Amino acid sequence: MALESELPAAASAGGAVLRAQLSPVEFALFAQYGVRRTLQADQVLFRRGDLGSSMFIIVSGTVSLDFGAGLAPKPMGCNDFFGELGLLIERHPRSCDARANCDSVLLEITHANFHRLIDQDPAMVVFFLRRTLSRVVSSEQRLIAQLSRRNHELETALGNLYSANHELHHTRELVYGDDLTGLSNRRALTAYLQKSHRSGHRPRGLLLIDCDDFKGLNDSYGHLAGDHALQCFGRILASVTGKDDIACRLGGDEFCVLLMDADAESLPRTADFVLEAVRHLIAYPGATVGACSLSIGMVLINEDHHWNDSYSRADQALYEAKREGGNRAHWWQG
């Protein structure tokens, strides 16, 4: 990670701030090899990512170094320097944007002139480099700490977001799901019908389903057996629905299935599958096969009719199936 004085000032191990500023003696030496640069107010000297091979010293005016990423711009004033890693690492990527706050005068120390400066006074240059590198290392350590803290904050925020999303999903399940069977409930059915009405993609087939003698099942085998049977019904109904269909427990032992792609041939096949699966169902340990059965009312939905009309017709067909002895599916006869 390459850093330079285009970073917020960092504290040294002793706690003192290592400022990127030349002493008067250093300034006099560097000025002998500097090329004057005049900047107008708001003029950009370089941008983050630009490749640089020179250092800048401020003679008059001020320059702001903008690091982005939510960090406050760093103001630089007289005798301050920045971009020094360009002298040590030729074509070094700048780590910030440099912009003049007002009309300013700078000295630019190029890579070639810096080597001439070393030849003139190597001891002073070594002292300058030692101090500069110490400040750079401190700045790097500070940045690493900032990034670590931000990473921790991000992890915390993501954890909170995950928890909130989980709670939202759980709340949606409570609002739109049936606790016992895992199917949708009446509220979910209403939302499904509203959504399909808005989209114009409406279901074509309706199965209205009711257990033939649920009270008898409860009386004979207990309420736990009844709950187990309802859960089994739910799994069977869920198995016949696609991603655009819906299976609901309307209440008690009453269910319905809405199918998007249904016609006069596929709808009774689906009903027969459900009936056959329930006929072979052992509702509860100790119960016999066939201890419970279903009656189903079938109707193809006319898009021109209201939902209540389709539901009423399916209910009439369900009543006819029960009147004929149950354990069967019956079409609505209009």
Tell me the pLDDT tens digit for each residue of 210-230.
998 888 888 887 888 888 889
Work out the pLDDT band at 12, boundaries 50, 70, 90. Answer: very low
Region 111-124: mean pLDDT is 86
pLDDT band at 7 (very low <50, low <70, confident <90, very high): very low
pLDDT of residue 248: 96
Confidence tier at 6 by pLDDT (50, 70, 90)? very low
- Classify residue 317 as exposed, middle or buried by CB count within 10 Å of its CB (0-12, 13-18, 19+): buried
Q: Provide the pLDDT for residue 84.
A: 84
pTM above threshold 0.75:
no
Q: Report pLDDT for 95.
A: 85
Res 169: pLDDT:
66
What pLDDT shows up at residue 304? 78
Among 21-25, 184-188, 214-218, the minimum mean pLDDT is found in: 214-218
User: With 90 as the cut, is the pLDDT of residue 279 above it?
Assistant: no
In this prediction, residue 255 carries a pLDDT of 96
CA 111/CA 132 separation, integer angstroms: 16
Average pLDDT, the chain: 84
260 vs 171 pLDDT, higher one: 260
Whole-number pLDDT of residue 305: 80
Range among 11-25, 64-78, 291-305, 309-323 rated most confident: 309-323
Check residue 19 and give its pLDDT: 65
Q: What integer pLDDT is reported at residue 262 of this predicted model?
A: 92
Contact at 8 Å (CB) between 296 and 247? no
pLDDT at 10: 40
Confidence grade of residue 288 (pLDDT, cut at 50, 70, 90): low
pLDDT for res 174: 63
Residue that wins the pLDDT comparison between 217 and 243: 243
The pLDDT, as a whole number, for residue 61 is: 95
H/E element, 84:
none
Q: Shortest CA distance to 298 belongs to which of 321, 273, 328, 331?
A: 331
Walk me through the domains of the chain, giving residue ranges and CATH numbers. 10-146 (2.60.120.10), 186-331 (3.30.70.270)
Core vs surface per residue 34-50: b (16+ CB within 10 A) or e: beebebeeeeebbebee
Please say if the pLDDT value at position 88 is more than 80: no
Mean pLDDT check: name the lowest of 113-117, 158-162, 170-174, 197-201: 170-174
- Indicate whether 330 pLDDT > 60: yes
Per-residue CA distances from 278 to 57, 214, 282 (Å) = 87, 13, 8
Would you say the C-alpha torsion 124, 125, 129, 130 has a positive or negative sign?
A: negative
Q: What is the pLDDT of residue 2?
A: 40
Asked if residue 302 has pLDDT above 80, the reply is yes
| Cα Rg of the chain (Å, integer) | 39
Q: Give the per-residue pLDDT at 291.
A: 63
Residue 152 has pLDDT above 90, yes or no: no
